[in-house]
Amino acid sequence: MKTIGKSVIATETVTELRALFEDGLEAQTFLNDLIKIYLETGRESVQSLSRTLDAGDLPAVGRHAHKLKGLSRNIGAQRVGDLCADLEVEVMDQGSNARDLYEALVSEFQQACDELNQTYLRVS
């Protein structure tokens, strides 16, 4: 379920990434690059999660969740990262809740992508 009006990207993470540069334009270019990587690679990871869940390959689900967790935390998509962490743990057990976690993750990921596109990505 979408949470309307609530930010899903941690602004402090974005601020820290921007703070690596003195020049605002360089900072935005850098941020744009990371966002584009997240949008592309994150989407690939979500697709891989779906595929491996359908196949019942729990170790592979864990690996893809781990990867998406790292990507998400880099860019401030904390809730996506947390759901990935939960999914990693879930598939190390029997994985009975894996599908529900995946569905929640997909929703959060989409919200994160929307916010990154609308609020943080600046294409000149």
Partner 1 sequence: MTAVGRPKSYCISLDDDPMIYRIIQEIIKLPTLPYTSGKKLLERASSYQPLVAFVDIHLGEDESGLGCLPELRQLWPHTPIIVMTTDGESSLIGESLSLGANDFVRKPLQAAEVRARVQARIFELQKRQDADCSRFADVVLDASRRSLEGPLGKRFLSESEWTLLSCLLATNGIVVGKQDLKGKVWGDVKVSDNAVDRKLSTVRSALKVVSKKVRLTTSYGQGVRVEEKAS
Site for partner 1 contains 86 (CB under 8 A): no
Site for partner 1 contains 21 (CB under 8 A): yes
Which of 28, 39, 73, 115 touches partner 1 by CB under 8 A?
73
For the chain, the distance separating the N- and C-terminal CA atoms, rounded to the nearest angstrom, is 33
> Count of residues for the chain?
124
Which of these ranges, 1-9, 60-68, 101-109, 110-118, lies near partner 1 under the rule CB under 8 A?
60-68
User: 7 is written with which tokens?
Assistant: 């930010």
Residues 6+ apart with CB under 8 A from 53: 61, 98, 99, 102
Which of 14, 17, 53, 87 touches partner 1 by CB under 8 A?
17
Which of 28, 32, 50, 74 touches partner 1 by CB under 8 A?
74
- The residue among 25 and 37 lying less far from partner 1, judged by its C-beta, is 37
Between CA 14 and CA 19 the distance in angstroms is 9
| Residue 47 Cβ vs partner 1, minimum distance, rounded to whole Å | 16
Between CA 17 and CA 14 the distance in angstroms is 5
Residue from 85, 81, 89 nearest 112 by CA: 81
Site for partner 1 contains 37 (CB under 8 A): yes
| Residue 44 Cβ vs partner 1, minimum distance, rounded to whole Å | 11
